[in-house]
Structure 1
Amino acid sequence: MNHRQTFDSVLRDMPKSKAAYLARLAHELECRAEMEDRGHLMYPVLAAAAPGIEPMLEPGEAADIATAFLLREAEGIAAAVYSPAYLTAPGEVLLPWAERLRADLAAVILDRLAAGKLVPPDQRTWRFRSDRGDVAFPYGDEEDEEL
């Protein structure tokens, strides 16, 4: 079984920008010597975690975090991947590991946001105006009733 293909199949159902980010992350992981004999453990976890991974860190930095996570948790992930339960419900078996990987990534993202070293990619300013007579505007300009 090619575990990278399992990961790549998850990317097909994602928005293109997020899929491209995760593909770059996977490429960064492939280039690491530490992953040579552990990739079969990382890709299923990465596939399970992919929908919740936000593309806010550089792929190389996210790969550093994922590599450290795998080195720390390899034994537990291996037990999950080689368990009989993985054959019947791989998503359920890998969910705790996926959540831990996302937590490691989120901790770095939140620390950087708090320190002002990272800016969220979507900086929208919402402005509502009622002077155009837009019926979709939620607040009407009806005459105030005198009490």
Structure 2
Amino acid sequence: MTSRKTLILLAAGGSAALLLGALYFQVFENLPPCKLCIWQRWPHGAALIIAAAALATRGPALPLAGAVSALTTGAVGLYHTGVEREWWDGPSTCTSSQSITDMSPARAADLIMNMAIQRCDEVLWSFLGLSMASWNALASLAFALLWVAAARRSR
């Protein structure tokens, strides 16, 4: 039987891997994220914080919060998949962003004028016919199951 700690580490490790993968594609493959891509990242970050707290405590509450986090990013991924496949409309403003607070006004203006804008309904990368959003939705469902199993081991 897999321990609670192992299940939490697997779920959190999966979230970390997806975040690192997204950053890899953004930085090294020059694939700018759209608004929905960014929205999918936040719950993975929350899952990492939840995992750290869950490893230091007992009880099912934090693993269940991890499951909610995984289901949230999965739901956004599913929504994003629907936007990409034109099953429904997405947000009217889908652009990437970068902080300009530490830049000179000239550099900030140059960045804004030359910023890559990514639409939420365009697929920049796919594998086996599924986009990154689709893979995120599927992986996040698996992570949610790991979190629920960890919660069950907490009792």
What TM-score do you get using the length of structure 2 for normalisation?
Answer: 0.30
Structure of greater relative contact order (alpha carbons < 8 Å, 6+ residues apart): 2
